[in-house]
Amino acid sequence: MKYPADAGQFCFVDGAELVETPDPRIGQTIAGRYVIEEGIGEGGMASVYRAKHKLVDRPCAIKIMNPALARDKVVRERFRREAKSAQALAHPNIIEIFDQGDTEDGTAYIVMELLRGRSLADIIGKGALALARAIPLMIQMSRGIARAHDLGVIHRDLKPENIFVVERDDGSDLVKLLDFGIARSRTDSRLTNAGELFGTPQYLAPERITSGDAGPNVDLYALGVIFFEMVTGKLPFDAPDVTSFLVKHIKDPPKSPKSLVPTLPDALETLILSLLAKDPKARPVDAHRVESDLAALARKLTIPLPIEVEADPLSSRPPAKTLPNVAVHQWAKRVYVFEQMLSKAFGAGQPQDLKKLLSQLKDMVERVTNLRAQHIAEQRALEEIDRRGREGRQRFGFAVDALGVDASKAKDEVRRAQAEAEKSKESVDAARERYTNAQRELVTWEGRAGFK
């Protein structure tokens, strides 16, 4: 994803670059509801446009698949999965999906919230981040990934280009995770064929490379690479090509973050290196645990925590507006003036054709007035349904978060219990061996005593 030097570019995805050439879709209406206003970005898989919802006059972004790929069932499925995965997650740190479908020419599209900000890649490109900014960003990333994992969705392509940073009204950062195009549900193994390897080499977990495993731990590993990059400005591995990157992920230990930034807190280095562990079982139990460790570190360093999920709006979209002003009342005034003009000009002998036209005009103004009233009532009903739906999704999300935190604590307890059991097993095995040796020696001495 590339952005111009001047700030504030609208987002998007798929390595999108700014659209500089005229696009025939500008001005088109999609699904009878969304009017395309301008191009935002384009890539190999899709183009993204700024648009506006006609009914509620609300800005949004529309991602439209490249028509040349529309016949490819696998690509269409990945495109559909991106909408389905993100739409189901409903979290303040995951981009909100409003709608999806096919255009009249059969091209798939996704409607999502319109973001203004910069990618994390663009921010890191200017150098390592201060902890006061980096840790709140890390916490929000962990929250978003925790929600995805709680609902069985694994991103599989976490990288700074897929993490967008929006500035809130109070100047603080809001993280949005993007591009769930190759995300996989743990209950859906489709599109994961043997020998296929999707993702970005710099952020691939060792088990993705060696066995194709795409469990939640692969996202935790990617978080470790991203965290390393955020606080040091460098990747944990240097390599000249893709193959070398893959080999280093499998075999080489990562650099020590403190070797690059000596002032880095020990606790943060420990967390990053645990996320980068070759063995998935050696990484934190889940993203909730990562968030918990980061929050504890933030409190220790007196860094303000990001706003709690319960208090965070689901999306950054502005509230829906009422229907655009339509000058119905002005036409009513005009009809009245025309009627007065006819009366003064012709008195009682008004021409029949003009009287008929005036009567038709009155009927039309009345119909428009009634239709506008119906539209306003329908819009308010839709807004109420939307409000209740959003509140329901948020309540469900809070419950998922609470259960996820409890499950995370339980996983920690299980891991500690397993560690204790391993220690006990070692002690028992050692005692058994000592007993066996003692028994063997006892038999030996008993035999010698018998001969005597």
Mean pLDDT per 10-residue segment, the chain (452 residues): 37 44 79 86 78 82 83 77 75 88 84 90 94 97 93 89 91 90 49 53 91 86 96 93 91 94 96 96 94 96 89 61 56 80 79 83 84 78 72 71 77 80 82 87 76 60
Residue 270: what pLDDT?
A: 96
> What confidence score (pLDDT) does residue 11 get?
43
CA 143 to chain centre: 10
Q: Decide if 6 is catalytic.
A: no
pLDDT score for 15:
42
- Reading the block at residue 196, the tokens are 């296929």
Residue given tokens 């604590």 in the structure block: 409
Q: How many residues does the chain have?
A: 452
Assigned token pair, 292: 């918990």
Pick the closest to residue 214 from 186, 242, 179, 251 (CA basis): 186
Give the pLDDT of residue 368. Answer: 83
Residue showing tokens 């995370």: 408
Predicted confidence at residue 303, as pLDDT, reads 95
| Fold of the domain built from segment(s) 29-311 | Transferase(Phosphotransferase); domain 1 (1.10.510)
Per-residue confidence (pLDDT) for residue 194, from 0 to 100: 39
pTM of the model: 0.74
| pLDDT computed for residue 188 by the predictor | 45
Residue 115 is encoded by which pair of tokens?
A: 């973001």
Rg (CA), the chain: 31
What's the one-letter identity of residue 406? D
Distance CA 118, CA 229 (A): 17
Assess contact for 35 and 54: CB atoms under 8 A.
Answer: yes
Q: Are 113 and 316 in contact (CB under 8 A)?
A: yes
Cα angle vertex 210, ends 206, 212, to 5°?
A: 95
Catalytic residue among 14, 122, 157, 401: 157
User: Do 51 and 30 meet the contact criterion of CB atoms below 8 Å apart?
Assistant: yes
- At residue 183, the pLDDT reads 54
